[in-house]
Amino acid sequence: MTQITLVQGDITAQHVDVVVNAANSSLLGGGGVDGAIHRAGGPRILAECRALRASHYGGGLKEGQAVATTAGDLPAEHVVHTVGPVYRDESVERGTELLASCYRQSLRLAVELGARSVAFPAISTGVFGWPMESAARIALSTVRAELAAAGSGGGADGGLVEVRFVLFGSEAYGVFEGVWRELAEGGPAAD
């Protein structure tokens, strides 16, 4: 049974098998989580991202998709890069599906890589502007559903022991905690 945990902290300091990066489609670095991961993980991550751009991902990585590289100097085995949707009032439904896809694809890839533990940031809630509570609901309900599907033979399974959400600051942590409690009590499962 996989545990879902919430911690407040810096994702680059997590000792987990897979760290998920809220990347942008260029795969060549950016601000927020992306910048922190490349700074802490060193140049090997960027070198592999460049190689991906030069091969299968010439046009960049699409929203909702995920791809893995080394974790370089991070205390992890792999970084899974995924591109969240930019929040737009006029396309929230499509964005919701893309954000859910980021979590599903990243989780599946982590399981394929044999991960026992995965750390996620709150994808799309920084520069990409997704409101935290809505993002938390999508993140937690998607991961929970994916793990439940794994339990009954579909979805991401394998030896995954922990899916950890790493929230930057007490405000984000509090929002995730509130939504998680609501979901546990059988509240609204998705936006």
80 binds ligand ADP (CB under 6 A): no
Which residue number, 10 or 112, has a Cβ lying nearer to ligand ADP? Answer: 10
Q: Is 85 in the site for ligand ADP (CB under 6 A)?
A: no
Among 65, 105, 124, 142, binds ligand ADP (CB under 6 A): 124
Q: Which listed range, 5-13, 66-74, 91-99, 149-157, lies at the site for ligand ADP (CB under 6 A)?
A: 5-13
Query: How far apart, in whole angstroms, are the C-alpha atoms of residue 152 and residue 167?
Result: 29
Residues 23-62 that bind ligand ADP (CB under 6 A): 31-34, 36
State the Cα–Cα distance between residues 27 and 54, nearest whole angstrom. Answer: 11
User: Which range in 65-73, 122-130, 144-152, 180-188 contacts ligand ADP by CB under 6 A?
Assistant: 122-130
Q: Considering only residues 110, 123, 163, 179, which one is a binding residue for ligand ADP as defined by CB under 6 A?
A: 123
- Of the listed 10, 34, 73, 157, which one is catalytic? 34
Cβ neighbours of 151 (radius 10 Å): 11
For residue 51, the minimal CB distance to ligand ADP (Å) is: 23
Query: Which of 41, 64, 95, 126 lies at the binding interface for ligand ADP (CB under 6 A)?
Result: 126
Question: Has 34 been annotated as catalytic?
Answer: yes
Rounded CA gap, 78 and 96, in Å? 26
Nearer to ligand ADP, 2 or 125 (CB): 125
Residue 149 buriedness (CB in 10 A; 0-12 / 13-18 / 19+): middle
Residue 75 to residues 37, 51, 69, 72, Cα–Cα distance (Å): 11, 22, 14, 8
Indicate the pairing of strand 3-8 with strand 66-70. unpaired
- 119 belongs to the binding site for ligand ADP (CB under 6 A): no
Per CB under 6 A, which region of 71-79, 110-118, 121-129, 182-190 contacts ligand ADP?
121-129
Binding region for ligand ADP (CB under 6 A): 10-12, 22, 31-34, 36, 84, 121-128, 166, 168, 172
Give catalytic residue positions.
Answer: 34
